[in-house]
Structure 1
């Protein structure tokens, strides 16, 4: 039995290693290779994640240090404010101020806040006697010696044992402290020293130290030049820092990061300020970085290194992946081996799969052939952007369209930006961003691309966006069509219409004028039959004139030559004028026109163009209202920032089949040769263009058999908002969007400012000419021009050239000029804190220019 069992076992082993099971062994080898590739990919991914996290730690650490030093500067500036606000600060007041700061709890590492007074040599003895008279009998200025100027420490809180050791110390006597103090005095700005040993180091554990100085000046003295500031120097408020205590207070205990700080540009051991660990490292750090930190006149060199805990966090799953991968490889091997041993079934399955693959291949080839023929027939180019893997493909036709050979330009996701006309790029980017953020799957856009020869090629781009389940775009594919010939034909058509229209106006003017004189009886009475024919001719010559005028307007709009004289108008006055000018036309048709609920608001429009819009609405309504009927002109306000002007008729309504084409060129509901109502079919198309160019929109409401209401909406111009003068600083808010303007007004009013608010450059110029403002906020895109123009005007005016300006805009990038000064730039949306900080900084900078 043992021999039989041994033979059976040998047979099974031979079957396992038989050549027919080579697929199973190949699967095992492939699975192991895939495992190695996945492991390599995981390591690379972990490495990238570790580098990104380490960079974030470095950035967070440096910004935390910078912010804490800024907080310490604010403490000194607050202390300096005590001296600026009173003739004398007593020792008790100084002690109370520092107790309220709670430095040891809130800002660990700071040794205190002190005051050092400048004492000329001639006044030294008097100074020492005055301090001793306060009950500090052991006070003296150290170190002894004759010097032109002394800066002894007079106040230093908390007045503990360490700080008593520095009491009376003349910091001007030490070169490093003296350099920082002189720089602070000459510039008027806060400075810190290089590495020093503090006088407070009276125990064995000595730490590297620095001091921060803010200068104080005698009130009323001129401070325009460094020499004047030195002459007016009264003293310094300062803080000493022990660097080990300071950094522990700022950073705490960080198990992931080692930090070394050096004073200066190099990593000199003599200039080391701080080290987050003692002794030599047990192993080399995996990640390290050197950063430069500019702080109050000093450069700190920071070396940041990762600790083992950080390194291990990103490389802890390798053994688990290896175990899972090995188990999965073994599982695949045995599964494939089991299938391989069933020879007949495996061969049958392989044959079926082969046939299926061949069928799919033939279907794919047929599909590709059909697609190729379709593209050749349409003469369109094919393109494909794979956002997931960052690749771009364009068919040969797409390249030839722009004069390039396939592959002549490097293909990447930004290729479309490089071939686009530069001036169209911002608008195209914004349109693409809106399309990507929306939920649409298909889009069409007309772009102007740069041909290799330098000419501009108009291209119609159609695309399909493939998205994931969350709606994020993964892939964009589509076609591109060369519109050069189409544009040429369209231009020929427009030029033909323009030429014919202009050439017809001269003879038509003579014909209409002559017929008007004859029908009015200027040449005597005509026989009734002839008079009737002349009136028909005159009436139709006028209709032809209206047609030519509409054609010329549409040609100007299409060519971009239509100009608008935008001004602030009373809407009530414009509505009254429109009604009066159309009364005669209404009387001819026996229709009554009335104005109801006129809005007492102002709008920013071209008055003549709006009159043309209202005439189009009214004339259409009059023509379609039966005799004896009524046409109503009325207003409403759908929201606080817009007014809707509506014209309602009593006509038959618009057929559903025509409603989608109402605002198209040459569109008429009755297009038959025998239509009853005259017209060019251009009036509503022109109306839509005019209203949209003036920042509004148009539309209509209709029910077949129950009349139609055509309407347009325009933004309301709010009257300048004035705040009563109660002695507060007065600011000017320039913002055309009503809700944003009201929000800025409330933010600034609640902060204690008097605020005037306007919505246009025209109104802003008027306010600036007649009122003195401390600062102004400005939106760069206004209805009557660019905020950039106003900035240039303000800076060129002697009265306002130093006026602080807070630019608040939704633009992704600001148009900054090298000579811009005292301008803060804020991106919408903003918070009240951002606005007030920027305003405070600008006002302070204007009061104390550096």
Structure 2
């Protein structure tokens, strides 16, 4: 280092330093050349011209290899996590679809029971010339409605009256069948034809239905005429039931099946319309028991028609909430379906709650993927440390350390400098080194000085 200081003091550049080398400094130059491979201590800056190569504190190649290894190792847990998420979504959708299918199945069974009762009553009416109130009561009571078709409000018989004196004949028919003059045709007024309800079982809860003219309700008249034309069971649109005149209005429906007076078998067109089997029900009474079969966290909504905002029934929503408040994620996993029955489609939707989605998405695959990515990062770190240690070992034990100062060599260099300074001075003797013994030769200068170190 003293030799380098001389170069700096003289002010020579690197090329000039190599051209002008005093003989006594050849040992210093060879010593510096031997040390020129030393790497400075990290964080210390070397002055220009120290003949030392500056190297980074770590190998960029080792870092790149470690990062690449981490990314490659992380591919497997990442692919596992993505695939498991997709499977979890598929399982969630499959579970909601299964719940929707179960609702459809139970509702279909319920409606099939309604149709079975309607056709049974039609057969009873077709086989009787004159049905009395007592006969109708006994027959309906034998069907055990609450067991076969829970949710059905009742079973009625509607007679069709048309022609001259239709209002008087309709009123007489109702009073004669009920055996009381207290009944009347409702609503009052003259119409071309009438369709009053003359029987309705059970009587309790259906008192207001006796004498009601269904043709006074446009939706009911349209469905009854369609049932007459097709011979099928036809449902009305959502209408308030006459039984709920004094109660809270709930969405109700009425099923109509036409009954005819049998004519000659060879001339079916001569069959005369006798009336209709009348089956009223509230949608809440039918769907409430079915909705309870849903898995907790699922909500059920029935619409009047497709893409309609008119909700007929809802289940599982918090107070004040509705399907309109469902989040995008809830609607994404929701399931919409319909059931075709009685000439119309019954649309419904199963919507999961956020709590339901969160509970279904909880799985151990998140933890497994996290552990896999953590192990990948650990592998990259270990690989980086190993590669860095290998590079240091190949470079040599002293390449990453700053060489320790050699005070003895510095003192010899100082004496060499002094000799050079007084070489041309005649008669001047050099002072003896403080540690030099009498008769001991002077320390050597030049290329062989390093081999004569004390």
Closer/same/farther in 2, CA of residues 260 and 326 from structure 1, 3 Å limit: closer
Alpha-carbon contact 2:156-2:200 (below 8 Å) kept:
yes
Contact 1:131 1:139 in 2 (8 A): no
| Offset from partner CA, 1:728-748 (integer Å, 9 cap, x none) | xxxxxxxxxxxxxxxxxxxxx
* Separation in structure 2 between the aligned mates of residue 308 and residue 27 of structure 1, nearest angstrom: 39
- Alignment of 1:262 with 2:303, yes or no, is yes
Distance in 1 between residues matched to 2:152 and 2:297, nearest whole Å: 25
Greater fraction strand: 1
Alignment of 1:93-242 (within 5 A): 93-120=135-162, 121=166, 123-133=169-179, 136-161=180-205, 163-220=206-263, 228-229=270-271, 232-242=272-282
CA-CA distance at 1:339 after TM superposition: 7.8
1:665-710 per-position Cα deviation (integer Å, ceiling 9, x unaligned): xxxxxxxxxxxxxxxxxxxxxxxxxxxxxxxxxxxxxxxxxxxxxx
Match of 1:85 in 2: 127
Q: Report the RMSD for the aligned CA atoms in angstroms.
A: 3.6
Q: CA 1:125/1:336 → structure 2, altered by over 3 Å: closer, same or farther?
A: closer
Stretches of structure 1 lacking an aligned partner (at least 5 in a row): 1-13, 347-850
Distance 1:199 1:16 in 2: 89
Residues 244, 274 of structure 1: 8 Å contact kept: yes
Q: Which moved more, 1:256-265 or 1:143-152?
A: 256-265
Equivalents in 1 of 2:131, 2:58: separation in Å? 97
Q: Which residue of 1 aligns with 2:420?
A: none
Instruction: Report SS of the residue matched to 1:65.
Output: helix
Cα deviation, 1:745-766, whole Å, max 9, x if unaligned, reads xxxxxxxxxxxxxxxxxxxxxx
Distance in 2 (CA, whole Å) between partners of 1:334 and 1:125 is 93
1:244 aligns with 2:299: no
Q: What whole-Å deviation, never above 9, does each CA across 1:469-499 have from its counterpart, x for those lacking one? A: xxxxxxxxxxxxxxxxxxxxxxxxxxxxxxx
Pick from 319, 324, 327 the counterpart of residue 368 of structure 2: 324
Contact 1:222/1:228 (<8 A) preserved: no
Kept in 1, the 8 Å contact 2:231–2:258? The answer is: yes
Q: What secondary structure sits across from 1:165 in the alignment?
A: helix
CA displacement 1:202-224 (0-9 Å, x = unmatched): 45432111101111111335696
1:53 alignment partner in structure 2: 95
Counting only pairs closer than 5 Å after superposition, residues 689-704 of structure 1 correspond to structure 2 as none
Residues 336 and 29 (structure 1), Cα distance of their counterparts in 2 relative to 1, 3 Å cut: closer
Partners of 1:189 and 1:323 in 2: how far apart?
59
Q: Is the 8 A contact 2:255 2:280 kept in 1?
A: yes
Aligned equivalents of 2:247 and 2:327: distance in 1?
A: 30
Q: Supply the distance in 1 between the matched residues of 2:218 and 2:285 (Cα, whole angstroms).
A: 24
Contact 1:139–1:167 at 8 Å: present in 2 too?
yes
Are residue 300 (structure 1) and residue 346 (structure 2) matched?
A: yes
Match of 1:65 among 76, 88, 107: 107
Does structure 2 conserve the Cα–Cα contact (< 8 Å) formed by 1:32 and 1:325? no
SS in structure 2 opposite 1:247?
Answer: helix
Structure 2 vs 1, CA of residues 30 and 63 (structure 1 numbering), >3 Å: closer, same or farther? same
Say if 1:32 and 1:326, in contact at 8 Å, map to a contact too.
Answer: no
The structural deviation recorded for 1:192 is: 0.9
Structure 2, unpaired ranges of 5+: 1-55, 391-454
SS of the equivalent of 1:299 reads strand
Instruction: Choose from 279, 303, 313 the match for 1:274.
Output: 313
The 1:25–1:128 alpha-carbon spacing in structure 2 relative to 1, beyond 3 Å, is closer
CA distance, structure 2, for counterparts of residue 64 and residue 301 of structure 1? 14
Change (3 A) 1:46 1:15: farther
Q: TM-score, normalised by structure 1?
A: 0.34
Which one has more relative contact order, counting CA pairs under 8 Å at least 6 apart?
Answer: 2
1:39-87, CA deviations, whole angstroms, 9 ceiling, x for partnerless residues?
2222222223333333343344334323321221011111222223333
Q: Does structure 1 conserve the Cα–Cα contact (< 8 Å) formed by 2:335 and 2:351?
A: yes
